[in-house]
A and B are shown apart, each in its own frame.
Chain A
Amino acid sequence: MTEPLLSVRGLTVEFPTRHGILTAVEDITLDIMPGEVLGMVGESGAGKSMTGNAIIGLIEPPGRIARGEIWLKGRRIDNLPPEEMRAIRGRRIGMIFQDPLTSLNPLFRISDQLVETIRTQLPMSQDAARKRAIQLLDDVGIPDAARRIDDYPHQFSGGMRQRVVIALALCAEPDLVIADEPTTALDVSVQAQIIDVMKQLCAERGAAILLVTHDMGVIAETADRVAVMYAGRIAEIGPVRDVIKNARHPYTEGLMGAIPRLGENLERLQQIPGAMPRLSAIPKGCAFNPRCPKVLDRCRSHRPALSPTEPGRQVACWLYDGVTEA
């Protein structure tokens, strides 16, 4: 078995506030293999983006990694000094943000932003960096790249801007790309194109992707494995096909049931009753217990740990044998 590219062990992110410490992400453990696409789904506030931010070392203060370790290619990166972490960002780990309308600096030409990033990461002359920038824009599917490169961000449409963002994230051919809701802010009609471009380019370069989204459809089409998050923890993780066809955790079942299918004539859309708890009021035991249709007594008092139930799959639910207490 090959060594994982990224290995996260017991990651916990906390936010000290006036009303006590909030735990945004708790005890996350996962591996990403080289070239693999790991999807991460969950509702807003489940801690998906926070996990991505923690991996790339961009948690906004006062948030902090309270416990856990992050290893990249056998090197621990969660406790690096800021300058060393900066050298990893962009070079080893790239990131694609949610909203292409706000992630490009409006006052700088696309060429300036690309060339600056390339030259920060790679020893290149101005001219060589510019050539590379044009090539990158061409790769992400911007027509007439050589001419458009000197345009400003506002002269591009949303989908085109997200392509530019992808080009910026892939500038230095990182080993891992964290895509934080890369299509959420886009028109449905261009979402598929953006996902295709991202997936294809990463595959060509052998880069792994951590794809954070709440769109199960995107995960189903793109990811190799999927981690389902709920209230800051991983509820279930496994190969995409297995998880979708044969969900183990009741929360995952609810998520799958909530996806409307064409041809089905439903009066109402399926939903999971209730709402995800606020970080300040996470219930005792399993965080999902107040909403769970299959709740057991045990769920209300004891928290299940993410435990292997069958090869390649892990679930945090008392319904299955072999699940231990967290």
Chain B
Amino acid sequence: MLAFIIRRLAQSVLVMLFVALIAFVIFRYVGDPITSMVGVETRLEDQEIMRDRLGLNDPVVVQFARFIGNALQGEFGISYRLQQPVTELILSRLPATLELAVASALIALVFGVVLGVFTALRPKSFLTAGIMAASLVGVSLPTFLIGIGLIYVFAVELGWLPSFGRGEVVDLGWWRTGLLTESGLKSLILPAITLSLFQLTLIMRLVRAEMLEVLRTEYIRFARARGLSQRAINFGHALKNTMVPVITITGLQLGSVIAFAIVTETVFQWPGVGSLFITSVQVVDVPVMAAYLMFIALVFVLINLIVDILYYVVDPRLRVDGGAGN
């Protein structure tokens, strides 16, 4: 187990180094950092002095090493646009994105698994046919369209829910949460549903396919032949075996939910990392872009690592160290 985790950690570090290289290249070579930082009226000699002081004349390898060193301490420079440290900026926007992502991942997981199991166990019901047809819509409609549609129905026509923003937030010192106020919770509903819909249908279809597959296996037939109850077979034996691939996909999808919250955040004016990234791209705020890239990569790597470990917990066959198996 330990050796496995260490090996995966080493791989993760390699991936992060590679992403760091890309981030560094963007940071260093997309436009001239000095020109972006100073005004037009700064003299060329002063620019040279600055360039020298910031180490931009050092060999590339040294600069890269310094970039990594800074990144490890959470330093990604100053945002050109907002003149604030990038790390602070991202951290201040992070709670909004994480709350949105976790909420929508939960919606997707709960409804996805429930609907997937239902449609697998009742393949001939009319409800199943309806759900499967609706899921096609969920998979094929683009996120922004769903978002706009929901805003039109629930915010404009019915007026039940706010159409944009995060509502009132409560500052917990290091975390500004919208989960503690009524307006915050109300504001969360529409974006969370929008963001979850695609994942929900994906998980549902995956669970259904896996479950149908598992229900055909010999060990399920043997469980039936032993007289176990339908419930024990469906929800004990079959569901656990279904969950192995579902965990992987769901885990990886959580990464994309965070990364691709961009569209949803833009539609709903959600003050998260995604909308920060979009505005940064519009004004070529390179340090923010580079840091965002690193951040998303870190999220993916961490989630992958957790998924691998979960795999290990769920499936005993991967625990190769134990047992004789002659």
Closest 10 CB pairs of A and B: A90-B227, A155-B323, A95-B225, A89-B227, A102-B218, A90-B226, A152-B316, A103-B222, A105-B219, A117-B226
Do the beta carbons of A89 and B219 come within 8 Å of each other? no
One digit per residue, 1 when the CB lies within 8 angstroms of any chain A CB and 0 when it does not, for chain B 227-248 equals 1111010001100110010000
* CA gap between A87 and B316 in the complex, in Å: 31
CB distance from A207 to the nearest CB of B (A): 15
Do the beta carbons of A168 and B226 come within 8 Å of each other? yes
Given A116-B236, A155-B325, 16 more A-B residue pairs with CB atoms under 8 Å apart are A87-B227, A89-B225, A91-B227, A97-B221, A103-B222, A104-B222, A106-B219, A106-B316, A108-B240, A120-B227, A120-B228, A120-B229, A154-B316, A154-B323, A154-B325, A169-B226
CB distance from B323 to the nearest CB of A (A): 3
Q: Is A253 an interface residue (CB 8 A)?
A: no
Residues of B within 8 A of A154 (CB): 316-317, 323, 325
* CA gap between A117 and B219 in the complex, in Å: 13
Report how many residues on chain A are interfacial, defined by Cβ distance under 8 Å: 35
Q: Is B73 an interface residue (CB 8 A)?
A: no
Q: Is B180 an interface residue (CB 8 A)?
A: no
Residues of B within 8 A of A97 (CB): 218, 221-222, 225
Asked whether A106 and B222 contact (CB < 8 A) given A88-B227, A157-B326, the answer is: no
CB distance from A87 to the nearest CB of B (A): 7
Q: Which of B227, B315, B324, B325 has the most CB of A within 10 A?
A: B227
Q: How large is the interface on B (under 10, 10 to 19, 20 to 34, 35 or more residues)?
A: 20 to 34
* CA gap between A168 and B322 in the complex, in Å: 24
Residues of B within 8 A of A152 (CB): 316-317, 323
Do the beta carbons of A171 and B218 come within 8 Å of each other? no
Q: Which of A58, A155, A172 has the most CB of B within 10 A?
A: A155
Q: Among A58, A102, A116, A120, point to the contact of B217 (Cβ < 8 A).
A: A102
* CA gap between A103 and B237 in the complex, in Å: 12
CB distance from A85 to the nearest CB of B (A): 9
Q: Is A275 an interface residue (CB 8 A)?
A: no
CB closest chain-B residue, reference A85 = B227
Q: Is A266 an interface residue (CB 8 A)?
A: no
Residues of A within 8 A of B244 (CB): 107
One digit per residue, 1 when the CB lies within 8 angstroms of any chain A CB and 0 when it does not, for chain B 283-326 equals 00000000000000000000000000000001111000011111
Q: Which B residues are within 8 Å of any A CB, using their own CB? A: 217-219, 221-230, 232, 236-237, 240-241, 244, 314-317, 322-326
CB distance from A106 to the nearest CB of B (A): 6
Q: Among B222, B229, B316, point to the contact of A107 (Cβ < 8 A).
A: B316
One digit per residue, 1 when the CB lies within 8 angstroms of any chain B CB and 0 when it does not, for chain A 99-129 equals 1001111111100000011001100000000
Q: Among B219, B315, B316, B323, point to the contact of A103 (Cβ < 8 A).
A: B219
CB closest chain-B residue, reference A154 = B317
Residues of A within 8 A of B223 (CB): 105
Residues of B within 8 A of A156 (CB): 325
Do the beta carbons of B241 and A94 come within 8 Å of each other? no
Q: Among A56, A107, A121, point to the contact of B225 (Cβ < 8 A).
A: A56
11 pairs from A and B in contact (CB 8 Å cutoff): A89-B226, A95-B222, A97-B225, A102-B217, A102-B218, A106-B316, A106-B317, A107-B240, A121-B226, A152-B323, A155-B322
CB distance from A98 to the nearest CB of B (A): 8
Do the beta carbons of B221 and A58 come within 8 Å of each other? yes
Q: Is A165 an interface residue (CB 8 A)?
A: yes
Q: Is A196 an interface residue (CB 8 A)?
A: no
One digit per residue, 1 when the CB lies within 8 angstroms of any chain B CB and 0 when it does not, for chain A 68-102 equals 00000000000000000011111100110101001
CB closest chain-A residue, reference B223 = A105
Do the beta carbons of B325 and A157 come within 8 Å of each other? yes
Q: Is A151 an interface residue (CB 8 A)?
A: yes
Do the beta carbons of A120 and B232 come within 8 Å of each other? yes
CB closest chain-A residue, reference B322 = A155
